[in-house]
Structure 1
Amino acid sequence: MELYMQASEQTFSKIIQSDNGNEHYHVPKYQRAYSWRQNNWTQLFDDIDENEAGHFIGSIICIDENSQRRPGHDLVFELVDGQQRMTTLSLLIAALYQKLSLCLDTAENDDDLDEDDLDEIKAKRRGIGLQLIRKVKADVSDQRGAIKSGKRVVLLRVQPSSQNHNLDDYLYILSTSGVLVETVKCPSHFGNRLMAKAYRYFLDRLPNSIDALMLLADKINQLQLVHISVNSHANAFRLFETLNNRGVPLTAVDIIKNKMLAEMERQHDVSIDDAYELWQEMLEDIEDVEDRFLRQFYNAFKHREKIGQPSFTAKATSSTLIAIYEKIIESNAKFIFDELVSKAKVYGTITQPDESTPLGLALVDLNRIGAVPSNTLLMYLMTLDEKHFASADTLLSVVHFLQKYLVRRNITDTPSTRDLDQLQIDVIEACESRIKAEQTIDPDFVISVYCKGRGEPASLESFESALSDNLFYYNKQMARYVLVKLDERAHSREYKPDFWARNNKGQYIWTVEHIFPQGENIPAHWVDMIAGGDNSLAKEIQDESVHCLGNLTLSGYNSRLSNQSFDRKQSKTEITAAGHKIDIGYKNGLYLNNLSFESNGKDVSLSTIEQWQKGDIAQRNQMMVNLLSSQYRFDHEVKNNEDCE
């Protein structure tokens, strides 16, 4: 898609004209709040004051959606980048307006100034006022962006967002400065907010001399900016990425939200405030994953006529997301808004499951695997009517299959990550075809489609090979996960350690412990035990085996074990605050430490073996791989069959 834009370098007085200016720059109502602070205000003021006229201060990006502007109506740009700078300049000239007014009151009694001098000052002040507001004619009171101020309807030349009372604060500032003749009530806590502080800062910084004020006004008008206008929200976002502007650019969700709220008001006469409240409620269900949800929503439901876009038949990506939603929103904003709100609730049950149900517990485990791509398919399936499923447990069976499939995929890296999104779409389309043929969806059908073509998983032998290698080295997350799953084999009402608990820093309490230490400097007692005192051999064994599952366990006291000798690691104890001695080493009763394997013809475990040798690592490793291979074998798979049936 071609990037359409118009760019030109213009002076501030050209962008915000004081003589019949009919172009205005409004920040979307619920865009980010004003956030500049004193260091920003100081920098801007000093740049203007200390540099020659014509100083360059940056760029602004605005969206021109005025193609359907009515005759006689002014042009209102949507300001999406540069809002902090333009809002701050408006606060500065509002302070300048008030300072000139105060100086004029004094000057009118000054015999040194003649009538022409006073007229020049008044003209300058009037011009500044026109750069802040423009009165709307009575016959065009439906002007886009117009607001009521007392009995008048006006357009703010630069209008901030409504976030954090920005617009209310700005209107009050214009009233106190004298730009708005109508009295505006002071908003609660006005003085504590940034706009009030910025305005006071500029009042304090501005000189008291009329000549200095007039000079500063001229310098402001001659400031140079690059004015960039684009014709769509998608192009605005692409431009952010191209320019890599300083500051925090809008996200795709910000852009889509602005478009959605504006179209809800324009198409359906829904107030932006009401729509915004619904939008915020939706975000609670998809907190921190908004972009991902929007992509996966489209991919899950693009087979539907009102959602799929002919020009975007492929999966939604970060680069196409905004353009896709622009088209859907322009077609029917309320429909897509309602769909997003309802599907976000479903998505929330996938990412934040209810742990009191079997399905919820299965989804919790799926999230721990790192199963984000499957959310697309799950969102689709969880919105289907129950009549489309062969049985009540179809969905749970599919989730159990996904657990196995994605553990194997994440460990073998087969299929490739780049194929996973399209795989979900393929399965959804197959399900849709089955529904249209008036057939029900059963787990075997989903599994068979999932395992064909691009979704064909690695063979059981390949899975075993990946498990046998230094798994922790290649995939720390999955190494920890399968260690947990091995221990969970023994979980019951009486034995159920919480391996997913975190401390107050958000870190796992239970971490992966290397039995034979992984550090570069191998302690002498370990060199003696594992390599008969041969440092080179010890290093060789470490390189070959240290990150194998057979050399790993889980511990809540990893730092206490560390490089200790093997017998100390086994028998390590600690006195609790209550004075009780507890085992914190390998004799702590953890099932993972009691898993039996063969060593020198005897059944031993990590808690009972007396020495830790290379052969013991290999034996324990093979035992663990065998258990996991059995656990993650597909129901329809036999040991020597490399493919899904």
Structure 2
Amino acid sequence: MGKWLLIDGQQRLTTTQLLLAALRDVATQSGEHKLAEKIEGQSLLTPYEEGDEQLKVLPTQGDREAFRAIIHREDPPKSSRLTDCHTYFVSRLEKQKRTSGTSGDLTYLERLYSAVVDRLTLVGITCDEQDNPHLIFESLNAKGAKLTAADLIRNFLLMRIHVNEQQNVFDRCWRPIQDALGDQLTEFVRHHLMKEGKIIKSSDIYFELKDRLRLANDTSEQTKRFLDDLHRHGMHYARFVNPDKYEPNSEISAALNRLRVIEATVAYPLLLRVFDAVDQGALTRDQQLAVLNILESFLIRRSVCGYPSNQLRKLLPPIFDLVGGPSESFIAALREHLGGRRCPDDETFTNALMKEPLYATSKRNTRLRLMLERLEKSFEHREPADLSQAQIEHIMPQALTPEWAEELGDNAREHHVRLLHTLGNLTLTSYNSELSNKPFAQKRDLLRQSHFELNRYFDQVERWTPAAIHERAKLLAERALKIWPDVGRHGRDPVDPVIGSQRPVAIRFRGKTYPITTWKQGTVKLIELFEVAQPGTLASLVSRGELASELSADPERFSRSKAYVSGVYFNTHASVYELKRRLKKIADCMGVSENDYTFVFAAHPRATNDSFRATNDS
């Protein structure tokens, strides 16, 4: 018998089944055994099947126990709404039967059964593969409960598993992430599908999953493996959205909480790969924490400096593979990829902290509060103050009073507009209502009572002038540089100093020199030469599944940038640093010595083609 995933009408069909079950049970009690057998054989159970395969309708897992018991004439759980519904139908039928006689040759129960199966009209709409079930559901159920992609995906996956295994798989794989993630479940599935780098819209989640399973030999075992993978990554995701409950390491929990506060969900596909690599032993716990700190610095710096956030949707998800996957140099490669023009340098960051308005919308103020809290904690007081009740306070108030105009001096209004929401004029305090628009001298007296280290600064300040605001901003910015260091210019592992500073003019392989103009061209040329020296080795590596992040026979594998070499595609979408790492990995696998090849550079920007210097690519 064919199976269908029911998108709309679950409650109506389930209720109809419960009514028919109640009709059967009352008919049995009344001695109408032929009617009871007819109802059961034609409308409730499919003959010659076993277990749940017998059922005409199979509700979601939460209602299955009660539904099975009712249909099979067993005692259902008393706490179920389905049990209440069946009990109600039975009581109403028994009461109505006592007051109704026969009509012609038909009893009341026969007439009612006939009305249900012969006169009740159902409209069936069957979706093809290309149809969008979300749109159809919304058209039919505009005022009803919203259908989520997670609902569709759960049913789609479980339908591909034998009915006798569904409950076990649901309890083991789906229920834990459903309970842990709640309304974040659909977004998790989207991020899980994006973790290899593909950008997926919310409206495309269901179709993307169907396509992937179909391409991956859609079998029951394949579906169970996918659900196991989904469960494993779902519990990682629970650590992102609720670190206090699910992340046991205090440092990592704190770092995750900070990313959660600044709504860094754009980084979650990348973090799924990182956390899974840590659990598999491919990355260390120290590397995991370093990734979180790098991302925080990267996102804070970009946000403060006004870099567009929409670029991050394409930048972050594919990074894990672009930097070569897990390795000892993963952090150095990550810094290399996120650094440069993608991340503001110290000068740009400092300038923005001192001059740009940081206090604005609710979302930006949440980020600002986090920054002020981290600045406060950076003083590392032995008995840190409780920040839970603190609020953001403007030292120079938002309302420019006559006293404050006098405090600011000439061009007071201009200074007020320019400096009001900048870091130098902002602090944390629990005295907001008391401070209000008071003159600075009165505010200073109240701030002296504060337990926050941020406010000890005001002890020695006599007047709150534009120069004083600028000076405090400078000091806080210097502290901020240590909290959120530049991700790509400090703390990297030692690398070849010529990376990124010059372009090669040639490559040399086993004594022969070949002119090139870019790192990418040189890398591809060397791989071609490796293959000429060892024919068929690239194809052999691909067939064995080695270097999957670098090589593939699938033309769709590397969608952004690739080069074709002897029937194999090489992933060229990478930084210079990463291109060199990939080249060395391929050389090692192909038995090419690091002494066999070099990149050649002009000795001086104005040098001729006869003036070269070479650097080994090791």
Tell me which interval the TM-score lies in, with the shorter structure as reference length: 0.5 to 0.7
Which structure 2 residues correspond to residues 119-130 of structure 1 after superposition, within 5 A?
A: 129=39
Post-superposition offset of 1:222: 5.1
**Counterpart amino acid of residue 66 in structure 2:** D
> Counterpart of 1:441?
329
**What is the rounded CA distance, in whole Å, between the counterparts of 1:457 and 1:587 in structure 2?**
39
Which structure 2 residues correspond to residues 403-482 of structure 1 after superposition, within 5 A?
A: 403-414=296-307, 416-432=308-324, 440-451=328-339, 456-467=342-353, 468-473=355-360, 475-482=364-371
* Structure 1 unaligned spans of 5+: 1-72, 109-121, 148-154, 175-181, 303-313, 502-508, 573-584, 596-604
> Counterpart of 1:279?
174
* Structure 2 unaligned spans of 5+: 491-498, 502-618
> Counterpart of 1:146?
53
Contact 1:95 1:199 survives alignment (8 Å): yes
Change (3 A) 1:94 1:464: same
Post-superposition offset of 1:476: 1.0
> Counterpart of 1:4?
none
Change (3 A) 1:215 1:539: farther
1:624 maps to 2:476: yes
Looking at both structures, which has the greater relative contact order when contacts are Cα pairs under 8 Å and sequence separation is at least 6? Answer: 1
Change (3 A) 1:170 1:541: farther
Which structure 2 residues correspond to residues 562-601 of structure 1 after superposition, within 5 A?
A: 562-564=436-438, 566-572=440-446, 585-595=447-457
**Counterpart amino acid of residue 335 in structure 2:** I
Post-superposition offset of 1:184: 2.9
The CA RMSD measured in Å over matched residues stands at 4.5
Contact 1:296 1:375 survives alignment (8 Å): yes
Contact 2:385 2:451 survives alignment (8 Å): no
Contact 2:323 2:337 survives alignment (8 Å): no
**What is the rounded CA distance, in whole Å, between the counterparts of 1:377 and 1:190 in structure 2?**
41
> Counterpart of 2:542?
none
What TM-score do the two structures reach when normalised by structure 1? Answer: 0.60
- Out of 362, 380, 394, which is 1:514 matched to? 394
Contact 2:195 2:318 survives alignment (8 Å): no
**What is the rounded CA distance, in whole Å, between the counterparts of 2:391 and 2:500 in structure 1?**
34
Q: Which 10-residue stretch deviates more, 198-207 or 611-620?
A: 198-207
- Out of 252, 259, 264, which is 1:371 matched to? 264
**What is the rounded CA distance, in whole Å, between the counterparts of 1:401 and 1:395 in structure 2?**
10
Change (3 A) 1:538 1:84: farther
Which structure 2 residues correspond to residues 45-444 of structure 1 after superposition, within 5 A?
A: 73=1, 75-91=2-18, 129=39, 133-137=43-47, 140-141=48-49, 145-147=52-54, 155-156=55-56, 158-163=57-62, 165=63, 168=66, 171-172=69-70, 183-189=73-79, 194-196=84-86, 199=89, 208=99, 226-231=123-128, 235-240=132-137, 245-265=142-162, 270-283=165-178, 286=181, 288-301=183-196, 314-329=198-213, 330-331=218-219, 332-351=222-241, 352=243, 354=247, 356=249, 358-384=251-277, 393-414=286-307, 416-432=308-324, 440-444=328-332
**What is the rounded CA distance, in whole Å, between the counterparts of 1:206 and 1:531 in structure 2?**
85
Post-superposition offset of 1:237: 3.5
Count of aligned pairs? 472
Change (3 A) 1:225 1:462: farther
Change (3 A) 1:529 1:612: farther
Contact 2:304 2:352 survives alignment (8 Å): yes
**Counterpart amino acid of residue 248 in structure 1:** A
Contact 1:238 1:319 survives alignment (8 Å): no
Post-superposition offset of 1:471: 0.9
Contact 2:76 2:83 survives alignment (8 Å): no
**Which string of whole-angstrom CA distances, capped at 9 and with x for unpartnered residues, describes residues 366-410 of structure 1?**
434432222322332333378866x88444333332221111122
- Out of 361, 366, 372, which is 1:483 matched to? 372
Identity %: 22
Post-superposition offset of 1:188: 3.3
**What is the rounded CA distance, in whole Å, between the counterparts of 2:19 and 2:411 in structure 1?**
73
**What is the rounded CA distance, in whole Å, between the counterparts of 2:369 and 2:173 in structure 1?**
40
**What is the rounded CA distance, in whole Å, between the counterparts of 1:408 and 1:644 in structure 2?**
22
Contact 1:472 1:479 survives alignment (8 Å): yes
Change (3 A) 1:473 1:194: farther
**Which string of whole-angstrom CA distances, capped at 9 and with x for unpartnered residues, describes residues 534-582 of structure 1?**
9x9877655443322222211234344444554444444xxxxxxxxxx
What TM-score do the two structures reach when normalised by structure 2? Answer: 0.63
**What is the rounded CA distance, in whole Å, between the counterparts of 2:500 and 2:384 in structure 1?**
34
**Counterpart amino acid of residue 408 in structure 1:** R
**What is the rounded CA distance, in whole Å, between the counterparts of 1:316 and 1:194 in structure 2?**
42
Change (3 A) 1:183 1:368: closer
Change (3 A) 1:288 1:410: farther
